[in-house]
C-alpha cells in the first residue's frame, strides 16, 4: 500500500505550505484508519518544506517538462565536461553551460511567479532557488530529487562542477600545442589530475551534505512539533473563547430572569 502514497505525498508538498502540518497529519490518520501502519508512519515522518523548497515543489508539478529538460541537460553537461577535461573540444561544454544558464533563468522566473502568487516576496529566496536548479543540472541525485517534487530544503550544486566548467569555458577550445619541455607534465596526466580534483571536491561536498543532514532533520522535526503544538493551542483558544461566549450569554440570560423576578415581587 505504501507505493500508492507517492502521488498524495507530491500533492501534499505542492499544496498550501501553511496547511502542510494539518494535511500531513490528516493523511497519516487516513492511512492508519485504512490499516496501513507503515504508510501512516512514513507520512508522519514527512517534514514541512522551507519556502524556496515549497515553491520548487510547485514548479516540479506545474512545469514538469521544463524541469525534466533541465535534469536531462545535466547529463549532457557532465559528458561534455569529461570530454573537455580529456583534451577534447570545449565548444560542446560552452554551449551546454549557456543552455543551462538560460534554462535556470527561465525556471527561476517561473518560481518567482509562484512565490508572488502565494503572497511571498521572491527576492529573498532567489539564491536558494537558483542554487537548487543548478544542483539539479549538475548532480544526478539532485535532479531526481527536484523531479520528485518533495524537496524539504534548497540544494547546493557540487562546487567543483561549476568551477571547472567555467575554467574550460574561458579557453579557446582544443588546447594549443606547446613546445616540448623535459620537465613538463604530460597533458594526459594533467587531465587525470584535474578529473581527480573534481571527483575529490564532489566527494567532499557530499560528505559535508551528509554530515549536516542529521542536524537539519532534527531541526525540521522540532519545527514540526512546535507547529503542531501551535495548532493545538489555537484550537484550545477557540474552544475557550466559545465557552466564554456561551457563559456570557448564559450569565446575561440569568441576569434578565433575576431582574424579572425582582420586578414581580
- How far is 77 from 165, CA to CA, in rounded Å? 9
Whether the pTM exceeds 0.85: the reply is no
Tens digit of each residue's pLDDT (9 = 90 or more) over 102-113: 999 999 999 999
Three cell numbers written together for 22: 494539518
Pairwise pLDDT comparison (189 vs 29), residue with the higher score = 29
- Look at residues 63, 64, 49 and name the one whose alpha carbon lies nearest to residue 16: 49
Q: What is the three-class DSSP state of 117? A: helix
Residue 10 CA neighbour count, 13 Å, CB half: 15
What is the percent of the chain where pLDDT is above 70?
Answer: 73
The overall average pLDDT reported for the chain is 79
* pLDDT exceeds 80 at position 19: yes
Query: In what helix (H) or strand (E) does residue 41 lie, and over which residues does it extend?
Result: helix 37-44
Tens digit of each residue's pLDDT (9 = 90 or more) over 23-70: 999 999 999 999 999 999 999 999 999 999 999 999 999 999 999 999
Pairwise pLDDT comparison (216 vs 7), residue with the higher score = 7
* pLDDT exceeds 70 at position 138: yes
Amino acid at each position: 500500500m505504501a507505493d500508492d502514497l507517492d502521488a498524495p505525498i507530491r500533492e501534499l508538498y505542492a499544496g498550501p505550505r501553511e496547511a502542510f502540518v494539518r494535511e500531513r497529519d490528516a493523511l497519516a490518520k487516513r492511512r492508519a484508519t485504512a490499516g496501513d501502519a507503515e504508510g501512516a508512519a512514513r507520512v508522519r515522518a514527512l517534514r514541512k518544506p522551507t519556502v524556496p523548497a515549497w515553491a520548487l515543489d510547485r514548479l516540479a508539478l506545474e512545469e514538469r517538462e521544463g524541469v525534466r529538460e533541465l535534469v536531462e541537460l545535466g547529463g549532457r553537461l557532465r559528458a561534455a565536461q569529461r570530454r573537455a577535461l580529456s583534451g577534447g573540444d570545449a565548444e560542446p561544454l560552452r554551449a551546454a553551460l549557456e543552455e543551462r544558464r538560460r534554462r535556470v533563468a527561465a525556471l527561476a522566473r517561473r518560481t518567482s511567479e509562484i512565490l508572488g502568487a502565494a503572497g511571498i516576496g521572491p527576492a529573498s529566496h532567489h539564491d536558494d532557488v537558483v542554487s537548487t536548479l543548478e544542483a539539479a543540472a549538475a548532480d544526478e541525485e539532485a535532479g531526481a530529487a527536484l523531479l520528485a517534487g518533495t524537496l524539504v530544503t534548497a540544494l547546493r550544486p557540487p562546487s567543483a562542477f561549476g568551477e571547472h566548467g567555467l575554467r574550460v569555458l574561458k579557453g579557446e577550445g582544443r588546447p594549443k600545442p606547446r613546445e616540448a619541455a623535459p620537465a613538463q607534465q604530460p597533458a594526459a596526466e594533467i587531465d587525470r589530475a584535474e578529473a581527480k580534483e573534481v571527483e575529490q571536491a564532489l566527494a567532499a561536498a557530499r560528505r559535508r551534505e551528509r554530515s549536516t543532514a542529521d542536524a537539519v532533520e532534527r531541526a525540521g522535526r522540532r519545527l514540526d512539533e512546535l507547529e503542531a503544538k501551535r495548532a493545538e493551542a489555537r484550537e484550545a483558544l477557540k474552544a475557550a473563547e466559545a465557552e466564554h461566549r456561551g457563559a456570557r450569554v448564559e450569565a446575561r440570560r440569568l441576569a434578565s430572569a433575576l431582574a424579572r423576578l425582582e420586578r414581580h415581587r
